[in-house]
Structure 1
Amino acid sequence: MSKGKVLVIGSNATTLEVQGGGTVETGQYLNETVVPAMAIEAAGYEIVLATPTGAKPTIDPVSDAAEHFGGDEKALEEARGYYAHSPAMNAPKKLSEVVDAGLDGFAGVFVPGGHAPITDLMPDETVGRALAHFHTEGKPTALLCHGPIALAGAAADPKGFRAAMVAGDDAKAAEAAGDWPYRGYRMTIFSANEEKVAEEHILKAKLYFDMPRALTAAGGSVENGAQNFAPFVVTDRELITGQNPASDKPLAKAFVEALAARG
C-alpha cells in the first residue's frame, strides 16, 4: 500500500540560450532524476511525474555516463532501464492540470536538475503555484543541482525575474521577486565555480548568469560546499536542496526522511 504521492516536476526544455545569442542542447540529468525517484519509490511512495507540456523530459546525453553513478556500469544500466520502462517515468502529466486538480493529496515535491530547468521551470508561474502549496503546507520540497532555480517560479513575476537576470540587472530581478516565499531560506544550488567548469568542458559557451547569483537576487541565503562536485545538501524548514550531481543520494535520503517524519 502506497504511503502517499510525491510530485516530481520535470523539464521539457532541450535548449538553453547562451551569451552571444546562440543556444546549446540540454536536458535533465539521468542520475539526478532516477536516483531520487527510485529512492522515493523504494520508500513506499507513488510518483506522479508532471511537466509543463505533459511530455516526458529529455535526458541530457552528457549525463548518460557511468561517472555519474560512481563508475558503476551496472548502476547506469539500471538507471537507463528505470527511466525507459518504469511506470513512474512513463506516464507524465501536464503540470497545470495536476495543479488545477489540487495538490492536497501529495506528500512532497521533487525537482531534478540538469540545465533544462533554467529554460522552462524558472519562469513558469504554474511551477510557482505548485511550490506555493508545498511551502504553505510545510511539505517536504527537494530540488537538486540546477533544479533549485525552479524556486524562481514562485517569484511575484517569474518571467520578469528571469528576463532581468539575463539582462544582468540584479536590482530589477530583486524587484520582480517581490515577496518571494523562500526569502531568507538557506539553500544550495550548482555553484559558480562548478558552472565555469561546465561552461568550459560541456556547454562550450557562457551562460548569462550563474545560479547562486539568481537565487541570491531573489532573496535566498545561498551556500556552497568547500569542494567542487562533492556532495552537499542544505535543509532549511521544508526546503531540501542539493548542490550538484554527486548530491543525488544524500538529497534522496534527506527527502525520504523528511517525508517519513511528516508522516
Structure 2
Amino acid sequence: MSKGTVLVVGSNAKRIEIQGGGTGPTGQYLNELVVPVMALLDAGYGIAFATPTGSKPFIDPVSDHAVHFDDDESAHRKAQQFFATHPSMNNVATLRSILDGGLDEYLGFFTPGGQAPVVDLMQDADLGKTLRHFHQSKKPTALLCHGPIATASAMSKAKEFRAALIAGDEPRAADAAKGWQYAGYRMTVYSASEEKPIEDNVLHGKMYFHMPEALTIAGATVETGPDFAPHVVEDRELITGQNPKSDHPIAAKLISAIERVAADNAKQELASATK
C-alpha cells in the first residue's frame, strides 16, 4: 500500500533562447528525473507526473550517458528503461488537470532540471498556483539543478520577471518579483561556472541570464558549492539541489522531509484525540 502521493512536474521545452537570436537544444536531465522518482517509489510513495501540455518531457541527449550515473552502464540502462516503460513516467497529466483535481492529497513536490524549466516552468501560471499551495501548506518542495528557477512561477508577475531578465533590466525584474513567496529563502541552483561548458559546447551561445543571478534578483539567498559536486540546501519546506550530482542527496532529503511531516501530523492527531 502506498504511503501517499508525490507530485512530480516536468517541462516540455526542447529549445532555449540564446543571446544574439536563435535557440539551442535543451530538455530535462535523465538522472535528475528518474533517480529521485525511483527513490520515492522504493520508499513506498506513489507518483503523479504532470507537465504543462500533458506530454512526456524531452530528455536532453547530453544527459543520456553513463557519466551521470557514476559511469555505471547498468544503472544508466536501468534509468533508460524506467523512463521508457514505467507507468509513473508514461501516465502524464496536464498541470491544469492536477489543479482541477485538487492538491490536498499530495505529500510533496519535485521538479528536475536540465535547462528546460528555464523556458516554460518558470513562467507557467498553473505551476505558480501549485507552488503557492505547497508553500502555504508547508509541504516539502524539492527542485534540482535548473529546477529551482521554476519557483519564479509563484510570482504574480512571473512572465514579466522572465522578460525583464532577458532584456537585462535588473530593476524591472526586481520590481516584477515583489511579493515572491520564496524571497529570503536560502537555496542553491546550477551555477554560472557550471553553465559555461554547456554554453560553449552544446548551446554554442550564451544564455540571457544565469540561475543564481536571477534568483538573487528575486530575493533569494543563493548558496552554491563546488562545481559538479553534490550540494543540497534545505530551508523550511524548500529543498534545492545544485547540479546532476545532487540527484541522490536531494531524493534522500525529500523523503526524509515527507516522513518528518507525516510523523509530526500523526503526533498532532494523537494529541488532539487524547484531549
Distance in 1, Cα, partners of 2:241 & 2:221: 14
Show structure 2 runs of 5+ residues with no match. Answer: 263-275
- Cα distance in 2, alignment partners of residues 213 and 100 from structure 1: 34
Structure-1 residue corresponding to 2:82: 82
Kindly indicate whether the alpha-carbon contact (under 8 Å) linking 1:155 and 1:218 is maintained by their aligned counterparts in 2.
no
Aligned partner of 2:231 in structure 1 is: 232
Counterpart residue type for residue 136 of structure 2:
T
Contact map agreement 2:127 2:153 (CA 8 A) in 1: yes
Aligned AA for 2:234? Answer: T
Aligned pairs, number: 262
Aligned to 1:122, the other structure's residue is in SS state helix
Is structure 2 residue 246 aligned with structure 1 residue 247? yes
Task: Indicate the residue corresponding to 1:177 in structure 2.
Answer: 177
Matched residue, 2:11: 11
> What is the match of residue 222 of structure 1?
222
In the alignment, the residues of structure 1 paired with residue 144 and residue 62 of structure 2 have an alpha-carbon distance, to the nearest angstrom, of 17
Query: Deviation of residue 12 (structure 1)?
Result: 0.4
**1:153-177: per-residue Cα shift (whole Å, max 9, x none)?**
0112000000000001111111111
User: Sequence identity of aligned pairs in percent?
Assistant: 58
Counterpart for residue 190 of structure 2: 190
Q: Contact conserved, 1:135 with 1:238, CA < 8 A, in 2?
A: yes
Shift of 1:100: 2.1
1:229, 1:5 → 2: CA distance? 30
Instruction: Give the partner amino acid of 1:117.
Output: P
Q: Distance in 1 between matches of 2:191 and 2:56?
A: 27
Q: 2: CA distance between counterparts of 1:235 and 1:175? A: 26
Under a length normalisation based on structure 2, what TM-score does the superposition of the two structures give?
A: 0.94
Q: Distance in 2 between matches of 1:144 and 1:56?
A: 18
3-state SS, counterpart of residue 76 of structure 1: helix
Report what 1:29 is aligned to: 29
Q: In 2, Cα distance between the equivalents of 1:178 and 1:130?
A: 19
Whether the aligned pair in 1 keeps the contact of 2:24 and 2:202 (CA below 8 Å) is no
- Paired AA for residue 5 in structure 2: K
CA RMSD in angstroms comes to: 0.7
TM-score by length of 1: 0.98
**Deviating 4+ runs (over 2 angstroms):** none
- Per-residue CA shift, 1:197-234, capped at 9, x if unaligned? 22112222100000001111111100100x21000000
State the secondary structure of the residue aligned to 1:178: coil
Residue 140 (structure 2) pairs with residue 116 (structure 1) = no
The aligned amino acid for 1:193 is S
Rounded Cα–Cα distance in structure 2 between residues aligned with 1:57 and 1:133: 23
1-structure distance, mates of 2:227, 2:202: 16
Instruction: Give SS of 2:122's match.
Output: coil
Mark the structure with the bigger radius of gyration. 2
For the pair 1:262 / 2:250, whether they are aligned, the reply is no
Q: Report deviation, 1:148.
A: 0.5
What is the one-letter code of the residue matched to 1:254?
A: K
Query: In the alignment, does 2:53 pair up with 1:67?
Result: no
SS in 1 for 2:114: coil
Rounded to whole Å, the distance in 1 between the matches of 2:121 and 2:219 is 18
CA distance in 2, matches of 1:228, 1:56: 29
Q: Measure, in 2, the Cα distance between the counterparts of 1:165 and 1:137.
A: 29
- For residues 243 and 212 of structure 1, the distance between their equivalents in structure 2, rounded to whole angstroms, comes to 10
